[in-house]
A = this chain, B = another copy of it.
Amino acid sequence: MTEFIPAGSRFLDLPSPFPMKRGGALLGARMAYEIWGTPNAAGDNAILILTGLSPDAHAASHADNMDPGWWEAMLGPGKSIDTDRWYVICVNSLGSCKGSTGPASIDPATGRTYRLGFPDLSVEDCADAAAHVIVSLGIERLACVIGNSMGGMVALSLLQRFPGIAHGHINISGAARALPFSIAIRSLQREAIRLDPQWNNGDYTDEAYPEAGMRMARKLGVITYRSALEWDGRFGRVRLDSDRRLGDDPFGLEFEVENYLEGHARRFVRRFDPNSYLYLSRSMDWFDLGESCHGTCEQGLSKLRVNRALSIGVHTDILFPIQQQQEIADGLLAGGVDAHCLALPSPQGHDAFLVDFARFGPAVHEFLDSL
């Protein structure tokens, strides 16, 4: 199996065995992470960034890897997350295929790729593994934990499982529990992969790879990551030039929006491990901060011990709708946290935090500045 590890990655060996919430344990597992900036003398300037499902830990360029990262516009000297001031750590999620141990890694017990032998992965496991990175770096308390999308779930779980681990929290387009519309979307993405005969119950190879399933999963993802409003303005009913259409296939690409999806699928399909995708996707469906504390979601939120929190969402997000960011702020507030929800008018839907830096940049900067 191919893993996709950015140059300049750092690694932490997790305790072995590393117990998993739903049973089983990992042996010799590791976490990939990257860092920017320098810890200060008081030890109170550390920020942890937790990512969405697919990104690696390379959030921005640094001396060991000058390639632009997925949050390049947000993170760096003088930027919204100012690395002249903050000591920033981004981790690749446990279960991913981009440096941290996941289904595409070798199981030391067998010497073979885990594949479906990887134990059930939960958001809580991702939080536990991220906490080990923080502790290993000698950080006693984070100034802030920032979680985007799935990372927003991991961040809430981290706060639940490690009370007091952070002073501040920014939850971006995240959720305290998975709701049925997003469960349905993710279930269908997983079904697309599993129905591909080349998935072969997880035993695919680079030569016989579930490309059709991954294409479908990615395209469905992109549809739910953006918004109808953005696409009306961006694509409308514009057709592809005839020389960019694919041969004489009667059902081939015709509209620009179809070409856009096709481009996204092509860039993704061979760059993410299908089994890893299945595990990470399912972990989100399972997540409910309330279930984790045998109560309601609001009760789970009200018990989190963090001093200040900002949850940010956008009105056009259909996958993690704004009501879910409002729920986070309301729940934290009910527990006495100085929390509020910022609803941005970005047209780009769930992915707005990856593109609408004009809105997200100042919002994040202002909150960090006030800590």
Q: Given A180-B235, A180-B236, A318-B318, is A188 in contact with B261 using a C-beta cutoff of 8 Å?
A: yes
Q: Is A194 an interface residue (CB 8 A)?
A: yes
**Is A219's CB under 8 angstroms from B237's CB?**
no
Q: Is A133 an interface residue (CB 8 A)?
A: no
Q: Is A191 an interface residue (CB 8 A)?
A: yes
Q: Mark A190-202, 1 if CB is under 8 A from B, else 0.
A: 1110110100000
Q: Is A140 an interface residue (CB 8 A)?
A: no
Question: Which residue of B236, B237, B250, B321 is within 8 Å of A228 (Cβ)?
Answer: B321
Q: Mark A213-242, 1 if CB is under 8 A from B, else 0.
A: 001100110010001100110111100000
Interface size on A, residues (CB 8 A): 48
Q: Is A185 an interface residue (CB 8 A)?
A: yes
* Neighbouring B residues of A178 by C-beta, 8 Å: 237
Q: Is A258 an interface residue (CB 8 A)?
A: yes
Q: How far is the CA of A231 from the CA of B234 in the complex (A)?
A: 30
Question: Which residue of B181, B192, B251 is within 8 Å of A282 (Cβ)?
Answer: B251
Instruction: Tell me how far the C-beta of A332 lies from the nearest C-beta in chain B, rounded to whole angstroms.
Output: 21
Question: Which residue of B183, B236, B251, B291 is within 8 Å of A278 (Cβ)?
Answer: B251
Question: Which residue of B177, B184, B223, B250 is within 8 Å of A184 (Cβ)?
Answer: B223
**Is A183's CB under 8 angstroms from B257's CB?**
yes
Q: Is A187 an interface residue (CB 8 A)?
A: yes
Question: Which residue of B184, B216, B227, B228 is within 8 Å of A231 (Cβ)?
Answer: B184
* Neighbouring B residues of A185 by C-beta, 8 Å: 223
Q: Given A231-B179, A251-B282, is A184 in contact with B261 using a C-beta cutoff of 8 Å?
A: yes
Q: Given A216-B188, A216-B216, is A257 in contact with B223 using a C-beta cutoff of 8 Å?
A: no
Q: Mark A286-311, 1 if CB is under 8 A from B, else 0.
A: 00100100000000000000000000
Q: How far is the CA of A231 from the CA of B183 in the complex (A)?
A: 10
* Neighbouring B residues of A254 by C-beta, 8 Å: 285
**Is A195's CB under 8 angstroms from B183's CB?**
no
**Is A177's CB under 8 angstroms from B288's CB?**
no
**Is B216's CB under 8 angstroms from A192's CB?**
yes
Q: Is A212 an interface residue (CB 8 A)?
A: yes
- Which residues of A (45-94) have their CB < 8 Å from a CB of B? none
**Is A285's CB under 8 angstroms from B255's CB?**
yes
**Is B197's CB under 8 angstroms from A228's CB?**
no
Instruction: Tell me how far the C-beta of A188 lies from the nearest C-beta in chain B, rounded to whole angstroms.
Output: 5
Question: Which residue of B116, B216, B237 is within 8 Å of A288 (Cβ)?
Answer: B237
Question: Which residue of B116, B179, B255 is within 8 Å of A180 (Cβ)?
Answer: B255
Q: Mark A163-187, 1 if CB is under 8 A from B, else 0.
A: 0000000000000011111111101
The contact sample of 10 A-B pairs, CB cut-off 8 A, is A180-B234, A180-B256, A181-B232, A182-B228, A184-B257, A185-B223, A188-B216, A192-B192, A251-B282, A318-B318
